[in-house]
Amino acid sequence: MRAAVASAPTSAVMRVASRGGNALSRRTRTRTSSSRTTTRGGRRATTTVAMAAAFVPAGAQIAGVGMAIPKQSLTNDDLASLVDTNDEWIKTRTGIGKRHVISGDESLTSLAAEAATDALKMAGVDAKDVDLIILATSSPDDVFGSACTVQAAIGAEGALAFDLTAACSGFVVGLVNGVHFIRGGEYKNVLVIGADVLSRYVDWRDRGTCILFGDGCGAMVLTSTPNPEDCCVLGFDMHSDGTGNHNLTAKFTNENGAEVNDGASKPRADTAAANSGRGAFCNIGMNGQEVFKFAVRAVPDTVGKSLAHAGLENEDVDHLVLHQANQRIIDGAAKKLGLSSDKVVSNIAKYGNTSAGSVPIALAEAVTEGKIKKGDVVACAGFGAGLTWASAILRW
Q: What's phi and psi for 95, nearest 5 deg?
A: 85, 0
Q: What is the mean pLDDT of residues 354-380?
A: 97
**Is residue 115 a contact partner of residue 367, using CB atoms and an 8 Å limit?**
no
pLDDT band of 2, cuts 50, 70, 90:
very low
pTM greater than 0.85 = no
Task: State how far the Cα of 64 lies from the Cα of 67, in Å rounded to an integer.
Answer: 11
**Is residue 116 a contact partner of residue 219, using CB atoms and an 8 Å limit?**
yes
Give catalytic residue positions. 168, 323, 353
pLDDT band of 260, cuts 50, 70, 90:
low
Beta strands across the sheet bearing 377-384 = 233-240, 388-395, 377-384, 319-322, 344-345
pLDDT greater than 70 at residue 189: yes
Helix (H, G, I), strand (E, B) or coil at 219: strand
Helix (H, G, I), strand (E, B) or coil at 80: helix
Q: What share of the chain is helix, strand, coil (3-state, %, to 5)?
A: 35, 30, 35
pLDDT band of 65, cuts 50, 70, 90:
very high
Query: What pLDDT is stored for residue 247 in this prediction?
Result: 86
- Give how far the C-alpha of residue 312 lies from the chain's centroid of Cα atoms, to the nearest Å: 24
pLDDT greater than 90 at residue 52: no
pLDDT band of 18, cuts 50, 70, 90:
very low
Give, as one character, the DSSP assignment of residue 231: B
Task: State how far the Cα of 163 lies from the Cα of 146, in Å rounded to an integer.
Answer: 7
The residues facing 384 across adjacent strands are 388
Query: What pLDDT is stored for residue 288 in this prediction?
Result: 84
Regarding predicted confidence, which is higher, 316 or 30? Answer: 316
Regarding predicted confidence, which is higher, 44 or 119? Answer: 119
